[in-house]
Amino acid sequence: MAKIIIDEERCKGCELCITACPKHILVMSEQFNKKGYHPAKQIKPEECTGCAFCAMICPDISIEVFK
Amino acid sequence: MKKVFGRPESLTDVPFTYCPGCHHGTAHRLVAEVLDEFGIREKTIGICPVGCSVFAYLFFNCDVICAAHGRAPAIATGIKRSKPDSIVFTYQGDGDLASIGTAEIVHAANRGENITVIFINNAIYGMTGGQMAPTTLVGQVTQTSPYGRDPKTMGYPIKMSEMLSTIKGATYISRVALTKPAYIVKAKKAIKKAFQVQLDGKGFSMVEILSTCPTNWGLSPVEASKWLEENMIPYYPLGEFRTPEEVA
Amino acid sequence: MGEKILMKGNEAIGEAAIRAGCRFYFGYPITPQSEITAYMAKRLLKMKDAAFVQAESEIAAINMVYGAIATGVRAMTSSSGPGISLKQEGISYIACSELPCVIVNIQRGGPGLGSIQPAQGDYFQATKGGGHGDYHLIVFAPSSVQELVDLTMDAFDLADKYRNPAMILGDGLLGQMMEAVEFKERPKVNLPDKSGWTLTGCKGRKHRYIVPFDLDPRVLEKLNKVLDEKYKRIKEKEVRYEAVNIENADLVIVAYGTVARIVKTVINNAKKEGINIGLIRPITLFPFPEKIIAETASKINKFLVVEMSLGQMIEDVKLAVSGKAEVNFYGRTGGVIPSPVEILEEVKKYL
């Protein structure tokens, strides 16, 4: 069991987390955040292993990981 | 469920002012995590530079002083000499450390000052809008090398880690990158080792972090990471150039 | 009371700094002040909780001072003209950050590499800020080795009192000459507690920072106003001068430092010829003793400013005199010291 929480307001939509996720379950949201970025969004949360690669590569520390 | 990854205590809650994908944030986090893990936040004094990370004082949850461009190692010397029980680190970019501040970094290393230097090498001047840095690659186009860096008139990109590792007073010198999780794990280890050297009173330590500047490189963050791996790492090889074992 | 000992000016500055509690010195050799650096090395390298660093440059030296004083200790650097120019960047940062330190300038002939003989060509640099931006140092102009000692100690106190860099503006003659000095017992002064702003690690409190900038113009203007208020307080409270024979003088000379010493001889020589010369000797150059000069100008209508420069302090004298009296100038430059005879000849031109 693992889950991530993305702080959409801190996210700047750089997409680095999408490239880092080995499960390919991160995408860009179609919504805008307050800064005008498309934040990252997780799809298929049940496939998340909690490897934290997304959190590690996120320059804005927008992702928290729980296991 | 337990939180296994979050914001380190050694960072404030202030959101970073850096551009999307810029590696400064990751570098800040790694330094902060190391301060947390050693439990030294409350005795650390950081020195932030002139450049994009001039605002680092807002982000690091420790005492911070802002240096003039290039002078951080001299300020660090003054702090460490007057307060030897403090942990002192400088955070410097390539224009700062490898151009205007070459004298200060070389001689801080040469005196074996017991400080830790975090050196961000992104091969460009970020805050002033993308001018050529001393570390700009040959042929790289910047505002002040609009036809590409020509070594005939602009010199070759300077390799600070290699250069400083020839200095006897330097105890630990390492170059790392942050483009993928495996590199980030290694970068964290290097930063931890650098602070360990200081905690042990063994002298000067520096970690050079190859970083992206997507905005001034004119690339997306993902493309910038790829560019760094394909162009910077071959010229600036990763690894340790000097270690405490060698010095001992 | 201490006993009188014979000491070279530069070494006396070093000893005074140490007695004032300065344990951190960062410098770079330059003539004619190198004895300060050597003296501090000899003393501080043998002391506990002290540091002496021969820096790689003047720029580095002032920045080492910047780091040390941020932790709350007393620290100083010293140099001569060309080196002081290099320090200006750091001095501006220190002034902006409102940190206390002492900087000694043992002036030599300029401009450029100039000479190594005494001069007073750094007056503008010392009193008008020196580096970029609006700021002032507290500037002392000693005239004897005893004053080098007393004013160096005062400089540390006033720097702490106002959280402002202070400068001792000497010259090669004062630095190199030997005179008897006494290190007097000094009354204890109450100085402000530093613990509210020093960087010592944030144990038990919120993290704090020293940042000499603000990108918001209104905030930066506010800081400039804070500095301005401080300079006004300094002008009100810290002016020092010596007035000699100004009551019924035929002419009043304004001179500081080495030149003022020579003028005292001129006053005696002139008396023998029936000429009555007065002297106003600024001991602080910032704040400048404008009030006494203004008052004197309403009684005496002839002034002569003598400097080892092309005429720098004369601008402040003219501002103080404000057209109420005639202000003449005599100067020697390049390291040439004016003789009593030539100054008296100059005085006679205006009588």
The separation between the first and the last C-alpha atoms of chain C, rounded to the nearest angstrom, is 45
> Does position C81 have pLDDT exceeding 70, yes or no?
yes
Comparing CB atoms, the residue among B12, B42, B57 nearest residue C201 is: B42
Structure confidence at residue A1 as a pLDDT band (50, 70, 90): confident
Taking CB atoms and an 8 Å limit, are C202 and B104 in contact across chains? no
- The domain in which residue B161 lies consists of 24-247
pLDDT tens column, B5-36: 999 999 999 999 999 999 999 999 999 999 99
A9: closest CA of chain B, how far (Å): 9
What is the spatial distance between Cα C265 and Cα C245, in angstroms, rounded to a whole number? 13
Cβ-based neighbours of B153, under 8 Å, separated by 6 or more: none
What pLDDT score does B245 carry?
82
User: Kind and range of the H or E element at B5?
Assistant: strand B3-5
Taking CB atoms and an 8 Å limit, are B180 and A57 in contact across chains? yes
Give domain limits for chain A: 3-66
Taking CB atoms and an 8 Å limit, are B77 and C64 in contact across chains? yes
What is the spatial distance between Cα C169 and Cα C155, in angstroms, rounded to a whole number? 11
Percent of chain C whose pLDDT exceeds 90? 98
Comma-separated ranges of CATH 3.40.50.970 domains in chain C: 4-200+224-237
> Which residue type is seen at C172?
G
Residue C303: helix, strand or coil by DSSP? Answer: strand
Structure confidence at residue B176 as a pLDDT band (50, 70, 90): very high
> Does position C88 have pLDDT exceeding 60, yes or no?
yes
A55: closest CA of chain B, how far (Å): 7
Instruction: Classify strands C277-282 and B170-177 as parallel, antiparallel or unpaired.
Output: unpaired
HSE, CB side, 13 Å, CA atoms: give it for residue C78.
32
pLDDT tens column, C259-304: 999 999 999 999 999 999 999 999 999 999 999 999 999 999 999 9
Domain assignment present for residue B150? The answer is: yes
> Does position C128 have pLDDT exceeding 60, yes or no?
yes
Question: Helices B102-110 and C58-70 meet at what angle, rounded to 10?
Answer: 70
Percent of chain C whose pLDDT exceeds 70? 99
CATH class, domain A3-66, is: alpha beta
Domain assignment present for residue B84? The answer is: yes
The secondary structure of residue B16, as a DSSP letter, is: P
What pLDDT score does B12 carry?
98
Comma-separated ranges of CATH 3.40.50.920 domains in chain C: 241-349
SS3 of C7-47: the string is: EEHHHHHHHHHHHCCCCEEEECCCCCCHHHHHHHHHHHCCC
What pLDDT score does C68 carry?
98
Structure confidence at residue A2 as a pLDDT band (50, 70, 90): very high
B172: closest CA of chain A, how far (Å): 24
Architecture of domain C4-200+224-237: 3-Layer(aba) Sandwich (3.40)
Subunits adjacent to chain B (3 or more Cβ pairs under 8 Å): A, C
Query: In chain C, which ranges are continuous DSSP H helix?
Result: 9-19, 34-44, 58-70, 81-96, 123-127, 145-162, 172-176, 217-237, 257-272, 290-297, 313-321, 340-349
> Does position C1 have pLDDT exceeding 70, yes or no?
no
Q: Which residues of B touch C (CB under 8 A)?
A: 12, 41-45, 47, 54, 57, 60-68, 71, 74-83, 86, 103-104, 106-107, 111
Mutate to test the interface with C, among B40, B77, B80, B198 (most CBs of C within 10 A): B77
What pLDDT score does C199 carry?
98
Taking CB atoms and an 8 Å limit, are B4 and A14 in contact across chains? no
Chains C and B touch (3+ CB pairs under 8 A): yes
Taking CB atoms and an 8 Å limit, are C56 and B45 in contact across chains? no
Fold of C241-349: Rossmann fold (3.40.50)
**Rounded to 5 degrees, what are φ and ψ at C344?**
-65, -40
B77 and C64 Cβ atoms separated by less than 8 Å: yes
Cβ-based neighbours of B179, under 8 Å, separated by 6 or more: B212, B225, B226, B228, B229
pLDDT tens column, C134-170: 999 999 999 999 999 999 999 999 999 999 999 999 9
Taking CB atoms and an 8 Å limit, are B68 and C69 in contact across chains? no
CATH number at residue B153: 3.40.50.970
Residues of B in contact with C61 (CB under 8 A): 74
Q: Average pLDDT in the A13-21 region? A: 97
What is the spatial distance between Cα C327 and Cα C303, in angstroms, rounded to a whole number? 5
pLDDT tens column, C225-264: 999 999 999 999 999 999 999 999 999 999 999 999 999 9
Q: Which residues of A touch B (CB under 8 A)?
A: 1-3, 9-10, 12-16, 18-20, 37, 50, 52-53, 55-61, 63-67
Q: Which of residues B246 and B226 earns the better pLDDT score?
A: B226
Structure confidence at residue A40 as a pLDDT band (50, 70, 90): very high
Please state the domain count of chain B: 1
Structure confidence at residue B248 as a pLDDT band (50, 70, 90): low
What pLDDT score does B210 carry?
98
Residues of B in contact with A14 (CB under 8 A): 20-21, 214, 221-222
Taking CB atoms and an 8 Å limit, are B225 and A16 in contact across chains? yes
> Does position A28 have pLDDT exceeding 90, yes or no?
yes
> Does position B197 have pLDDT exceeding 70, yes or no?
yes
Domain assignment present for residue B3? The answer is: no
B181 and A56 Cβ atoms separated by less than 8 Å: yes
**Rounded to 5 degrees, what are φ and ψ at C79?**
-165, -170
What pLDDT score does C343 carry?
98
Structure confidence at residue C45 as a pLDDT band (50, 70, 90): very high
Structure confidence at residue C208 as a pLDDT band (50, 70, 90): very high
Chains A and B touch (3+ CB pairs under 8 A): yes
pLDDT tens column, C92-109: 999 999 999 999 999 999
Mutate to test the interface with C, among B38, B81, B85, B91 (most CBs of C within 10 A): B81
B158 and B191 Cβ atoms separated by less than 8 Å: no
> Does position B43 have pLDDT exceeding 70, yes or no?
yes
What pLDDT score does B247 carry?
60
Percent of chain B whose pLDDT exceeds 70? 99
Q: Average pLDDT in the C72-101 region? A: 98
Burial class (CB in 10 A: 0-12, 13-18, 19+), C217: exposed
Q: Which residues of C touch B (CB under 8 A)?
A: 24, 26, 51, 53, 55-57, 59-61, 63-71, 73, 75, 89-90, 93, 199-204, 207-213
- What's the mean pLDDT when you consider all of chain A? 97
The separation between the first and the last C-alpha atoms of chain B, rounded to the nearest angstrom, is 45
Residue in chain C nearest B83 by alpha carbon: C71
Domain assignment present for residue B78? The answer is: yes
Residues of B in contact with C199 (CB under 8 A): 45, 63-65, 79
Residue B8: helix, strand or coil by DSSP? Answer: coil
